[in-house]
């Protein structure tokens, strides 16, 4: 089976006020993980009120889950040592809009602040990225072409950012909307092959429309550092087992796409404006309304997830992940997304109750 790796981004929250606090470097150093792994598992983020963790390369979902629990525990301990807490939410329910969070003191991040100051100020958003190994970059492009139709469904399943500045945005994934404002963002286009992919990326670089390939904010892309397809449309998840579920679904989608490429199965596609609208719809409603299937039909969210499980059934069976992933998808349908859970807390106790939920669920 394909290898898999997961990155998660967390907020650092004041446990009393619920406001994000700029302790990223302090927490990273205190987490103790960096000392044990040479700094590869804990990384700085754009803003100092965020930290990022990355699992090693894993072969199984059990490995992914074990590493995520270990990393969350280490980051939670590091945060508590500096009087704050980690928050696995894709947007903060509360923000101090009068005082921008400091940008991490790296040349790349300073350049981004000059390029788009207001976007950087509002980039207090956290994602979950899933890397899945592919045999070649050309195979990776073919996977992207087949995976893109499922990205709205993945976005809806992972929605965990309904709140912003103390109010409900009306979106299940407000992070998706915030990220869409960068020059190269949203759904990846169709590519003929790896040469087409690289030519188009190079054109963006040559025209200085992006400063580096890290600014390819497509919701799925080829990794420049690893031999992987990187799915980036996911909000960070409240709980580690929810992240494991999504990692299993993403790997199975990649494996299914690779099998389709091998058998030369017909490539489904739909009009780009329709697919973009389907993504907006998924970010708006999460699993509380309808979703658009890869054929362009409108379906109830429950039906869409069952169709997804059927689509990836062979890949899940081959990896031994059927029981675990299926059980967690069923739980998701029963309990709702992180956005649904935040809204219940918000309705009963306001933004402070949502912050308390996030802090409670984020730590192992």
pLDDT score of 45 more than 90: no
pLDDT at residue 294 in the model: 85
Residues 6 or more apart in contact with residue 9 via CB below 8 angstroms: 45, 50, 51, 52, 126, 127, 128, 236
This prediction has a pTM of: 0.96
Number of domains, the chain:
1
Where does the pLDDT of residue 201 fall: very low under 50, low under 70, confident under 90, or very high at 90 and above? Answer: very high
Residues 6 or more apart in contact with residue 288 via CB below 8 angstroms: 172, 301, 336, 340
pLDDT at residue 33 in the model: 67
Burial 38-56 (b: 16+ CB within 10 A, else e): eeebbbbbbbbbbbbbbbe
Half-sphere exposure of 70 (CA within 13 A, CB side): 16
Give CA–CA dist 278/272, Å, rounded. 10
- DSSP SS3 for 134: coil
CA trace torsion 168, 173, 178, 180 (10° rounding): -150
List pLDDT tens digits, range 175-186: 999 999 999 999
Task: Find the range with the poorest average confidence among 55-64, 226-235, 264-273.
Answer: 264-273
pLDDT score of 327 more than 90: yes
pLDDT at residue 262 in the model: 95
Mean pLDDT of the residues in the chain: 94
pLDDT at residue 34 in the model: 57
CATH of the domain at 179: 3.30.590.20
pLDDT score of 172 more than 80: yes
Eight-class DSSP state of 55 = -
Domain that holds residue 94: 4-362
Give CA–CA dist 341/162, Å, rounded. 10
Characterize the bridge pairing of strands 42-44 and 50-54.
antiparallel
Give CA–CA dist 223/214, Å, rounded. 9
pLDDT score of 19 more than 70: yes
What token pair was written down for 106?
């790296």
Task: Find the range with the poorest average confidence among 115-119, 186-190, 263-267.
Answer: 115-119
């Amino acid at each position: 089976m394909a290898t898999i790796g997961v990155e998660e981004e967390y907020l650092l929250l004041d446990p009393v006020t619920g406001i994000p606090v700029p302790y990223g470097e302090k927490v990273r150093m205190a987490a103790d993980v960096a000392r044990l792994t040479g700094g590869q598992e804990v990384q700085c983020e754009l803003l100092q009120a965020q930290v990022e963790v990355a699992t090693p390369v894993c072969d199984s979902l059990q490995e992914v889950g074990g590493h995520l629990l270990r990393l969350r525990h280490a980051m939670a301990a590091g945060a508590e040592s500096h009087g704050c807490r980690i928050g696995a939410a894709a947007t903060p329910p509360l923000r101090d809009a009068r005082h921008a969070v400091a940008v991490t003191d790296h040349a790349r991040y300073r350049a981004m602040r000059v390029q788009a100051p207001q976007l950087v100020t509002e980039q207090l958003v956290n994602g979950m990225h899933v890397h899945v190994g592919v045999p070649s970059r050309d195979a990776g492009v073919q996977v992207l072409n087949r995976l893109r139709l499922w990205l709205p469904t993945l976005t809806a399943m992972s929605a965990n950012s309904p709140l912003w500045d103390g109010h409900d945005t009306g979106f299940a994934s407000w992070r998706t909307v915030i990220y869409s404002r960068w020059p190269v963002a949203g759904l990846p286009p169709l590519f003929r092959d790896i040469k087409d992919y690289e030519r188009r990326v190079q054109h963006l670089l040559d025209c200085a429309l992006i400063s580096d390939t890290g600014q390819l904010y497509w919701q799925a892309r080829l990794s420049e550092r690893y031999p992987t397809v990187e799915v980036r449309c996911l909000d960070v998840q409240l709980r580690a087992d929810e992240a494991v579920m999504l990692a299993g679904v993403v790997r199975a989608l990649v494996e299914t796409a690779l099998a389709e490429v091998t058998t030369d199965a017909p490539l489904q596609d739909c009009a780009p404006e329709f697919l973009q609208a389907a993504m907006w719809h998924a970010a708006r409603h999460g699993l509380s309304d309808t979703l658009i299937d890869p054929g362009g039909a409108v379906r109830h969210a429950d039906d869409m997830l069952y169709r997804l499980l059927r689509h990836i059934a062979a890949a899940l069976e081959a990896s031994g992940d059927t029981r675990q992933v299926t059980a967690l998808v069923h739980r998701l349908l029963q309990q709702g997304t992180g956005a649904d859970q935040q809204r219940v807390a918000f309705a009963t106790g306001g933004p402070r109750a949502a912050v308390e939920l996030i802090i409670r669920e984020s730590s192992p």
